[in-house]
Each structure stands twice: as C-alpha cells, then as structure tokens.
Amino acid sequence: MASLCCRCYSFIRSGKLPNPYFVNKRLISALIRNKKAHNNNYLTRLASTGGSTGNNNNNSNNNNNNNKDTYNGFYWRNTFITGQRAMTDYLLEIEDLEGLSQRTFRNADESGPQLVNCYLKSDVEKRALEVWGSWGLLEKALDIRRRQAKEEDRRREGLNALIALLKKVKKESTRKHVETEVYGDPQKRVELLQGSARVVFYAIASNTVVMIIKLLSYLYTGSASMLSEAIHSLVDVLNQCLLAFGITQSIRKPDLSHPYGFSRARYVYSLISGIGIFFLGCGVTVYHGINSIMYPPILSHLPAAFVVLAGSLLVEGATLIAAIRQVQISAAETKMSFKDFVLRGRDPTTVSVLLEDSVAVGGVLIAAACLWLTHSTGNALYDSIGSLSIGGLLGLAALFLIQRNTSALVGRSIPSNDLKRLTDLLEGDIIIRSIHDVKATDLGPDSVRFKAEVNFDGREVTRLHLQKLDLERILKDIQGYTTVTELERFLLEHGEQVVDKLGSEVDRIEMKLKKDNPEIRHVDLEIL
C-alpha cells in the first residue's frame, strides 16, 4: 500500500498522471489485501488468548489515550500567541522576545491592525523558563500580579464610586441652580400657574351662581332653552372643578414612580372634562330638546327669562374676557399666535375655560334668540330648536377638547420650526459631527423632553483635553517609561480624563439647550 502511494506520488511529481481506472483498481486491491491481513492477525491473536479480548481492548484504549496525549502535546507546541499575550501570561518583557521566530497572521479584531506578529508558544515557554529559572517562580510572580490587579481594581472601583458621587452632586447642584435661574424657584413656578388657576376658580364661582339662577328661571318659566342653559352651567362647574384638581396635581414633585413629574395631569383632567361636556352637556341637552319637540311644554313668564339671560351674559362675558387675556399672556410667553396657542398651546386648562365660556356666551345668545321667537310667535318649537342648537354647540366644543388633549397625551411633538432650531443649535457646536433621530415631545404645559443621537468628534474632545496639559512634560514622562505597565497606567489615566471631558461637554450642551429653550426640562443625548 505504501509503495503504491509512493509510486502514485512520483507520477504526480513528474507530471505523468497514470490511468485513473488503473489507479483506482490498484488502490482497491491494496485496500482489500490490507483488510484481509488485518483480519488474519486479529484471528491469530484471538486464538492465542483463548478468545479473551478484554486486555486487547484495554491496550487499544491506552494506545488511543497515548495518541490523544501525543496529539494534544503536538497541538500545544505548535500554537501561536501574540506578543502581548506572551508578555501578560509569562511576565516577559519585549526584549525577552527578541530572537524568537515570528509568523504573521491576519488579525481577527477589525479595530486593530490588519496583520499581527505571533510567536510559537513552545518557544515562548522555553524563553520564560530561561528568564524565571523555574515554573514555580513564574507561578508565584503571576499570583502576585493577580493579587495586585485585584487590589488595583478594588481601589479603582472605590475611587470611581467617589468620583461618580461627586459628579452627581455637582451636576445636581448645577441643574438646580440653572432651573432656578431659568424657571424660577418652586414658589415662582406656583405663581406662574396662578394665572390659569385664577381663571378656573373665577369660572367656578361665576358658573355656580349662573347655574342656580338659570335653574330657578326654568322652574318659573318652563323653557327648554333655560333648562339647557342650566344643565350647561352645571356641566361647566363640574368640568372646571376637574381642571382645578388637575392644576394641583400637575405641580407635584417628581417621584420614583413618575421621574418626569405630573405635568400631563392637566391634559388628563382636561380630557375628562371634554368627555363630560360631550355626554352630560351635549347628550342631556339634545335629549331634552328632542323630548320638548315630541311633548311641547307650556311656557309662561318669558320676560323673566330674558332678565336671567342678560345677567348670565354679563357674568359669562366677564369670565370669557379673563380667559382671553390669560390665553394672550400665555401665547406671548411661548411666542405663539393666539390661534396657534388655542390649537397647540401647552396650557390645556386656560384653553378649556376659554372654549367653555365661549360656548356659554354663544348658548346664552342662542337661548335669548329662540325665546324671543317663541314669545313673538307663540310657537314652542323655536325653544326646542334652541335647546338642540346649544347641545350641538356643546358637542363640537367637547370633540375639540377630546382631540386636543388626546394628541398631547400620546406624545405630541413640538412645532417643526422649533425642532429645526434645536437641531441647528446642536449642529453648530464644534465637538458634534452630526446628530440623528431627533425627537422633542411635550411632557406638560411648561415641560418638553428632548432626545437625540449625537456623533461626537473624538479629535475635538481630545484636543480640548490636551489644552489643559503640559505636553512637553508628558513627552519627557513617556520617554522615561521602560515597562509596558507604566505605559498602560498612563494610557488608562488619560483615557479616563478624556471620557470625563466628554461628559462635561455633554453637560455643557444640555445646559445650553435648557438656557436657550426654557421649556426643555429633560435632555437625553445618546453617544454614537
């Protein structure tokens, strides 16, 4: 078999390939002869041992184990390792590796060089034995190195924890100072809400008085329009109580369960207010109007109803004027037009009061017109039409409030021109290459959350770090290093300082965004 393989190999080397059929036939014949010889030897051993094959199996297993050990030893001696690993695992210096044979391999780490020089592991072990004298001394040195590394890690963890605590305290102090400077102290923030709260409480008081007068007027005249107006005022009182409760909830301090605060509580209770207007105000009023058409009531003493409506118009008009002024003030503070603030403004409370009082004034005018037609013609159908008209007006107002507050609760973005201005502000910073996935959503009437993925310029960050260093002194220090450990300690120290500088630059950008845009309370910058 061996001679046949050598003969085929000589043919291949000489370039004279034999006939494939001839080669295959000779190979098959040789394999058959080899198999027969193996079987004959096995039968001979079996006859000589009396049929016992246990020892042979044990010998075979021992041979396999020996072959396995031989293979492992062969593999171990022919393993290549990098120079860094040789210095780390065997505590060698770069000078100790001089004279050893090297082999270049492709580096699997894409962030490093494409090619890396490696040493035969058996050669490295021989050199380590020459340097340390024995494996016992090397193990002791490695054990000392491991203990030192653990101590260094514990020391560094404690130091990092202390540095992190100091940074957190400093950042929190700076954040509170900036928020106080930009937004005012907590008392001032409560005062800022007093404008909306004042309008709401004034509306509660006025609507309560008007509701009682309208209800008495209905009982005196039997007018469906007066009952609709009484129901309308009752719904306004209940809704404005909800708005007042929402204001008190929105100024609560953030806690662990609500880290971004409770600013959206005003949207929640404004939404409930809109739902209440739709089902109670619109539903009951429309039902009563339809019932009045089917079963016309007997109307009397209508002039008294006109007096009540005139008084209601004065009270509702005064509340409406107060709400308009507050909306104008809020729109001017946010640099929005009156119309845009009503449609997209972040203060739902004032807008709700404005809309409810506008509908109230409109309802009073509709009720007065319908009562005048009924009084002039004697036909109660006009009074029922007035009730249906007031119900439809309430329904439109309710749908607007529901849509507006729902849009705010699901995470409405700030206007596109404001978002573009924030993007331009970030892109104009020298340490930022580009920004991606920019989002800015309303968290409440005076709170915005800004989020962006930022690609920082590492060279500019490092340059800012180097401006505070004495480069000539650092160069002399580096030239005096003789071991890899000293160089590693230097790189770790300055690497940490560069990361700290990046963190301080992120804080600077966040403060800049908050100072230029007071409504931004939370900034999340993700580093790419």
Convert the pLDDT of each residue in 77-131 to its tens digit. Answer: 568 888 888 888 888 888 888 888 888 887 776 666 778 888 888 888 888 888 8
Which of 399, 400, 393, 348 lies closest to 232, judged by CA? Answer: 393
Rounded to whole angstroms, the Cα distance separating 97 from 90 reads 11
Following DSSP, what letter does each residue of 78-89 receive, concatenated?
Answer: T-EEEHHHHHHH
Which of 123, 286, 294, 323 minimizes the C-alpha distance to 206?
Answer: 323
Last residue of a domain, one of 368, 387, 410: 410
Query: How far is 134 from 288, CA to CA, in rounded Å?
Result: 104
What value does the mean pLDDT of the chain take?
76
Q: In terms of domains, do 344 and 405 share one?
A: yes
pLDDT tens figures, 463-519? 888 888 888 888 888 888 877 778 888 888 888 888 888 888 888 888 888 888 877
- Encoded tokens for 367: 């009720």
Contacts for 138 with CB less than 8 Å, ≥ 6 apart? 90, 91, 128, 129, 132
Do residue 301 and residue 402 come from a single domain?
Answer: yes
Let me know whether 253 and 337 are in one domain: yes
Q: What whole-number distance in Å separates Cα of residue 380 and Cα of residue 331?
A: 44
Total domains, the chain: 2
Q: Which tokens go with 277?
A: 């207007």
C-alpha of 298 from chain center: 64
Dihedral (Cα; 224, 230, 232, 237), 10-degree rounding: -170
Three-state DSSP state, 297 = coil
| Domain final position from 410, 427, 442 | 410
Lookup result for tokens 């102090």: 173
Q: Is residue 166 part of a domain?
A: no
Nearest CA to 373 out of 302, 315, 424 is that of 302
3-state secondary structure of 106: strand
Answer yes or no: is 7 within a domain.
Answer: no
Is residue 395 domain-shared with residue 519, that is, in the same domain? no
Residue 514 lies in a domain: yes
Identify the CA nearest to 326 among candidates 348, 307, 343.
Answer: 348
Q: What is the DSSP string of 170-232?
A: HHHHHHHHHHHHHH--HHHHHHHHHHHHHHHHHHHHHHHHHHHHHHHHHHHH--HHHHHHHHH
Q: What is the pLDDT of residue 18?
A: 46
Rg of the chain over Cα atoms, rounded to whole angstroms, equals 44
In a domain, 403, yes or no: yes
According to DSSP, residue 414 is labeled P
> Does residue 390 share a domain with residue 500?
no
Please report whether residue 120 resides in a domain: no
Q: Is 308 among the domain residues?
A: yes
CB-based contacts of 431: which residues, under 8 Å, 6+ apart? 456, 457, 460, 461, 464, 505
| 430 and 374 assigned to the same domain | no
Confidence at residue 442, expressed as pLDDT on a 0 to 100 scale: 81
Q: What is the mean pLDDT of residues 57-64?
A: 47
Considering the domain architecture, whether residues 338 and 225 belong to the same structural domain is answered as yes
The answer to whether 196 touches 247, Cβ cutoff 8 Å, is: yes
Residues 255 and 341 in one domain: yes
pLDDT, residue 190, reads 53
Residue 77 belongs to some domain of the structure: no
Lowest mean pLDDT among 12-21, 112-121, 132-141, 438-447: 12-21
At 41 the pLDDT is 52
The SS3 assignment for 456 reads strand
Pair 316, 199 in one domain? yes
Q: What is the CATH number of the domain that holds 464?
A: 3.30.70.1350
pLDDT at 25: 47
Over range 248-265, report the average pLDDT: 79
Residue 271 near residue 401 (C-beta atoms within 8 A): yes
Q: State pTM to two decimals.
A: 0.55
Instruction: Supply the range of the domain harboring residue 200.
Output: 186-410
Neighbour-count burial for 465-496, b at 16+ CB within 10 Å, e otherwise: beeeeeeeeeeeeeeeeeeeeeeeeeeeeeee
Range of lowest pLDDT (14-23, 256-265, 297-306, 473-482): 14-23
Token pair recorded at residue 13: 């080397």
Same domain, 337 and 362: yes
Query: Do 362 and 452 share a domain, yes or no?
Result: no
346: CATH: 1.20.1510.10
- The amino acid sitting at 21 is Y
Last residue of a domain, one of 392, 410, 428: 410
69 lies in a domain?
A: no
pLDDT for res 46: 42
Q: Does 378 share its domain with 427?
A: no
Buried b (16+ CB within 10 A) or exposed e, 289-324: beebbeeebebeebeebbebbebbbebbeebbebbb
pLDDT band at residue 160 under the 50/70/90 scheme: confident
CA 451 – CA 190 distance, rounded (Å): 27
